[in-house]
Amino acid sequence: MAYSLHAALAGNPNSGKSTVFNALTGSRQHVGNYPGITVEKKDGVAKLADKTVHITDLPGAYSLTAYSQEELVARKVLVEERPDVVINILDAGALSRNLYLTVQLLEMGVPLVLGLNMLDELPAKGISIDIKRLGALLKTPTIGTVARNKEGLDELLTSACEVAVKYKGQAWNPITISYGNDLDPVIEEMTALITQNNFLTTKYPARWTAIKYLEADEEILSAGRAENPEVAGKLEELYEKVARHLKTTLDTYPEAVIADYRYGFISSIVRNGVVTQRDELARRASLSDKIDTVLTNTFVGPLIMIGIVYLIYKLTFLLGEAPLGYLEDFFAWLGEAVGNSLGEGVLSSLLVDGVIGGVGAVLGFAPLIMVIFILVAILEDSGYMARMAYMLDRIFRYFGLHGNTVMPFIISGGIAGGCAVPGVMATRTLRSPKEKLASILTAPLFACGAKLPVFLLICAVFFPEHADMVMFMITISAWILALLVAKLLRSTVLRGESTPFVMELPPYRMPTFKGVLLHMWERTWAYIRKAGTIILAVTIIIWAGLSYPELPQDIIDTYDTQRKQIETQLPDADEASLEEALADVDNEQALAALRNSYAGRLGVTLEPISEYAGFNWRVNLALIGGFAAKEVVVSTLGTAYSLGDVDPEEAESLQNQIKADSSWNIATGISFIIFVLIYAPCFPTLAVIKQESASWGWMIFATVFNTVLAFLLAVAAYQILYRVLVL
């Protein structure tokens, strides 16, 4: 069958494009101007066996952003004429600079072939390039050429035809590059907005448009305003917001960050065994490189990394302990004060037991969490976090994960205090669907910010002396567990090839005081806001579930009778022992009421099963609440213990109430930590899992698998610790 294909030649000025064009088309060419402008337009025809290839020589361009007329024209031809294949000619002697355009072509998703030109000049420059490896890392056919001698050109054309035929009629397939923690969420938000509104989507891939908005690309901006002023307005607002944020935190602007990350992506490829420079002396070791010889050293690097993670917890408790105590005392005092002034009643119980007991328990941990966030912000802003990802990649490979999974893990709470929602979203940088799924399913296994207060509570009760060590152990265990689960998934339901890894190492930067504080405050504020909204709502629902139905009147009567009996039977007893006996009855009644409530009954019903893990009915309740959001675990415990505690004048902190509850012991504490760490992801995380995996099935899998795994491990831990070691 005779084919007629359309190919476009793209490349930097002086990369040899015209030389390639002339060699391929010979005399079959036509030179004119692009309509209305003086940029030269050259069209020609090449023949390859049964195929006729129409070739357009695009104007030379360094980028596809609207910086120059040439760049605009090149982009316009790609978008409007939709060539079947783009042949990107690169000057091999200036590979990094030339790849800047390539990256943008890949981000557009056009069917692409690379012609690595001017190979004849490499020896004189002392450079050698592994062309195969370059092609594999970019997942793009790459052919070495010397256009001036027509070397490699037939191969280049053949390869271009193959790609054109293979992708004919298919949608473009853009790659996703991470632009870091500041821009990625904005890009996601913009992309979602663009997709929902079909905003310019007939012309450009959604994410590409989002990136152009962040690059403040004039042409796209005005095209956007013409398309849909309302959506365009929202996108511009998002841009303004992140631009202001970058200005204040890092004193930079989105365009610069985007360029930085693109060059980061390129240098990670070039450094990844693609380019070897014979003359090592020519490579001036920058300060970053010097620091990296120590910090990412094969042996010392991982040790330093573990040391830093440990130091984070050590410092957290050192700095956060005192404020933690003040806040605890404050909420205890507040509960007492409100209880005393309102007396007994529904409103008082709602405020004291529900709101102050529940939300106070969550807010009480804010100081510790703030310190953790400060330290994590320092690691992030300095560029060390990226090095952690780089080092961990070597280990990840073994467990069937991709190096790009390290970031989602760290974001999810790999160091501490992350969140699986952006963590799961960050898996978008993974191109292999199976590696992506394995990352999505394991990211919720980390100690996210919401689980921290649960762990901190157990530490305060059972390990007050070694809280930092226990938190450190939890973190390490989460990593080991996530890797083992990934290995399990990748060798069963998600079996498949692994793909090569490319890592961006931004230069080290001195974090600014203001930047660190702002990053810390953003996260802390999100935590506090959550406590004031979702957690407050769930807490009130749980309080109601624990307060109703009230005990039937006949049972209340029996307690009243008991009290009367005590008063009549002990007429001569001293005041103190009489009061004690009466308080016992009060407590018994409160407990009976709790167990009789809707929520209480549910907790009690589950007790025969949960017993194996050492959980009493109050813990069951807390864990059920935690399906919605993990902070609710602590707030529910707060409410459940607060309601069972009848004497408002001696409102005890949750810690002390757990200490006083004989059904808790160290084995229960550890089994509780294990269960909370692993069981079902919270509702918001499940929503993004559904979105990212595009399947209800994987969302349900994450819920059921994690909960079953959590229960089995909790039972195992409890049985061993309690029955065998008798803790």
| Distance in Å, CB of 31 to ligand GDP, minimum | 13
Residue 339 interacts with, from Mg ion, ligand GDP, none (CB under 5-8 Å by kind): none
Q: How far apart are the C-alpha atoms of 393 and 380, rounded to whole Å?
A: 17
Judged by CB, which is closer to ligand GDP: 62, or 172? 62
* Angle of CA points 517, 521, 526, to nearest 5°: 160
- Measured from the CB atom, the residue of 13 and 433 that comes closer to ligand GDP is 13
Q: Is the CB of 11 or the CB of 335 nearer to ligand GDP?
A: 11
**Exactly one of 8, 16, 516, 672 binds ligand GDP (CB under 6 A); which one?**
16
Question: Minimal CB distance to Mg ion: which residue?
Answer: 18
Task: Select from 112-120, 602-610, 619-627, 691-699 the region that touches ligand GDP (CB under 6 A).
Answer: 112-120
Interface positions, 50-109, toward ligand GDP (CB under 6 A): 60
Task: Give the nearer residue to ligand GDP in terms of CB position, either 18 or 404.
Answer: 18
What H or E segment, with its residue span, contains residue 41?
strand 40-48
Choices 16-24, 107-115, 307-315, 479-487 (CB under 6 A): range interacting with ligand GDP: 16-24
Q: How many C-alpha atoms does 617 have within 13 Å on its Cβ side?
A: 20
* Residue 13 interacting entry, from Mg ion, ligand GDP, none, C-beta within 5 to 8 Å by type: ligand GDP
Number of residues that bind ligand GDP (CB under 6 A): 16
Minimum Å distance from CB 80 to ligand GDP?
A: 22
Does 132 contact ligand GDP by CB under 6 A?
no
Q: Which stretch binds ligand GDP (CB under 6 A): 11-19, 432-440, 445-453, 577-585?
A: 11-19
Query: At its nearest, how many Å lie between ligand GDP and the CB of residue 85?
Result: 18
Q: How far apart are CA 71 and CA 100, in angstroms?
A: 13
Nearer to ligand GDP, 122 or 621 (CB): 122
The H or E element that residue 423 is part of is helix 420-425
- Interface residue with ligand GDP among 98, 102, 104, 117 (CB under 6 A) is 117
Does position 371 interact with ligand GDP (CB under 6 A)? The reply is no
Chain position carrying tokens 């952006």: 422
Return the residues of window 142-161 that contact ligand GDP according to CB under 6 A: 146-148
Q: How many CB atoms lie within 10 A of CB 251?
A: 11
**Which one-letter DSSP state was computed for residue 65?**
S
Integer angstrom CA distances of residue 132 from 116, 143, 176: 11, 8, 22
Shortest distance, position 21 Cβ to Mg ion, whole Å: 8
Residue 19 or 610: the one with the smaller Cβ distance to ligand GDP is: 19
Under rule CB under 5 A, residue 610 binds Mg ion? no
With 0-12 / 13-18 / 19 or more C-beta atoms within 10 angstroms meaning exposed / middle / buried, residue 720 is middle
Instruction: Please identify, among the stretches 10-18, 95-103, 529-537, 646-654, the one whose residues bind ligand GDP according to the rule CB under 6 A.
Output: 10-18
With respect to ligand GDP, which residue has the nearer C-beta, 11 or 511? 11
Element (H, E) at 116: strand 112-117
Q: Is 120 in the site for ligand GDP (CB under 6 A)?
A: yes
Closest to 114 measured CA to CA, from 93, 94, 134: 134
Pattern 13-32, Mg ion, x by CB under 5 A: -----x--------------
In the complex with ligand GDP, which residue's Cβ is closer, 13 or 697? 13
The token pair that represents 215 in the structure block: 């690059």
**Residues of 512-531 as b/e, b for ≥16 C-beta within 10 angstroms?**
eeebbebbbeebbeebbebb
Residue 425 · residue 458 · CB < 8 Å? no
Q: How far is the CB of 36 from ligand GDP (least distance, A)?
A: 22
Question: Rounded distance, CA 479 to CA 385, Å?
Answer: 16
Binding partner of residue 14 among Mg ion, ligand GDP, none, CB under 5 to 8 Å per kind?
ligand GDP
Which of ligand GDP, Mg ion, none binds 147 (CB below 5-8 Å, type-dependent)? ligand GDP
Least separation in angstroms between CB 396 and ligand GDP:
39
Q: Which of 8, 15, 111, 520 binds ligand GDP (CB under 6 A)?
A: 15
First-to-final CA distance of the chain: 79
Query: Could you tell me the smallest distance in angstroms from the CB atom of residue 108 to ligand GDP?
Result: 20
DSSP assignment of 141-176 equals -EEE-BGGGTBTHHHHHHHHHHHHHHHTTPPP----
**How far apart are the C-alpha atoms of 228 and 256, rounded to whole Å?**
27
d(CA 478, CA 309) in angstroms, rounded, equals 13
For ligand GDP, which is the closer residue by CB, 64 or 415? 64
Question: Using CB distances below 5 to 8 A depending on partner kind, what does residue 15 bind out of ligand GDP, Mg ion, none?
Answer: ligand GDP
In this complex, which beta carbon is closest to ligand GDP, that of residue 56 or of residue 636? 56
Identity of the residue, 17 or 387, whose beta carbon is nearer to ligand GDP in the bound complex: 17
| Tokens 């305060």, located at residue | 460
User: How many Cβ atoms from other residues are within 10 Å of residue 183's Cβ?
Assistant: 21
Question: What is the rounded CA–CA span in Å between residue 24 and residue 16?
Answer: 12
User: 213: which 2 tokens?
Assistant: 């908005």
> Which of the choices Mg ion, ligand GDP, none does residue 245 contact, using the CB cut-off of 5 to 8 A by kind?
none
In DSSP notation, 628-668 reads: T-THHHHHHHHHHHHHT---GGGPPPHHHHHHH-TT--HHH
* Residue 117 interacting entry, from Mg ion, ligand GDP, none, C-beta within 5 to 8 Å by type: ligand GDP
Q: Which is nearer to Mg ion, 18 or 668 (CB)?
A: 18
- Distance of closest approach, residue 92 Cβ to ligand GDP, in angstroms: 9
**Residue 56 interacts with which of ligand GDP, Mg ion, none, CB < 5 to 8 Å by class:** none
Applying the rule CB under 6 A, the residues between 615 and 654 that interact with ligand GDP are: none
What is the C-alpha to C-alpha distance for residues 68 and 505, in angstroms, rounded to an integer?
Answer: 30
Residue 11 binding partner per list ligand GDP, Mg ion, none, with a CB distance cut-off of 5 to 8 Å that depends on partner kind: ligand GDP
CA–CA separation, 70 and 161 (whole Å): 26
Residue 439 binding: pick among ligand GDP, Mg ion, none (C-beta 5-8 Å cut-off by kind): none
User: Residue 418 carries which DSSP code?
Assistant: B
Among 14, 277, 491, 577, binds ligand GDP (CB under 6 A): 14
Q: Give least dist CB 18 to Mg ion, A.
A: 3
Segment contacting ligand GDP (CB under 6 A): 27-35, 116-124, 247-255, 536-544? Answer: 116-124
Of 680, 667, 676, residue with least CA distance to 708: 680
Q: Which long-range contacts (CB under 8 A, 24 or more apart) does 95-99 make?
A: 95/129, 95/270, 95/274, 95/275, 96/263, 96/266, 96/267, 96/270, 97/12, 97/62, 98/11, 98/12, 98/15, 99/266, 99/269, 99/270
Instruction: Report residue 217 as tokens.
Output: 């690309």
Stretch that binds ligand GDP, among 9-17, 270-278, 422-430, 578-586 (CB under 6 A): 9-17
Peptide bond between residue 422 and the one before it cis (omega within 30 degrees of 0):
no
CB of 67 to Mg ion, least distance (A): 18
Closer residue to ligand GDP, CB minimum distance, 92 or 667: 92
b/e sequence 641-677, b meaning 16+ C-beta within 10 Å:
bbbbbbebeebbbbbbbbeebeebbebbbbbbbbbbb
Establish if 118 lies at the interface with ligand GDP (CB under 6 A): yes
| Residue with smaller CB distance to ligand GDP, 16 or 417 | 16
For the record, the structure tokens of 187 come out as: 């890009």
Q: Is 89 or 551 the residue whose CB approaches ligand GDP more closely?
A: 89
Interface positions with Mg ion (CB under 5 A): 18
Interface contacts to ligand GDP, rule CB under 6 A: 11, 13-19, 60, 117-118, 120-121, 146-148
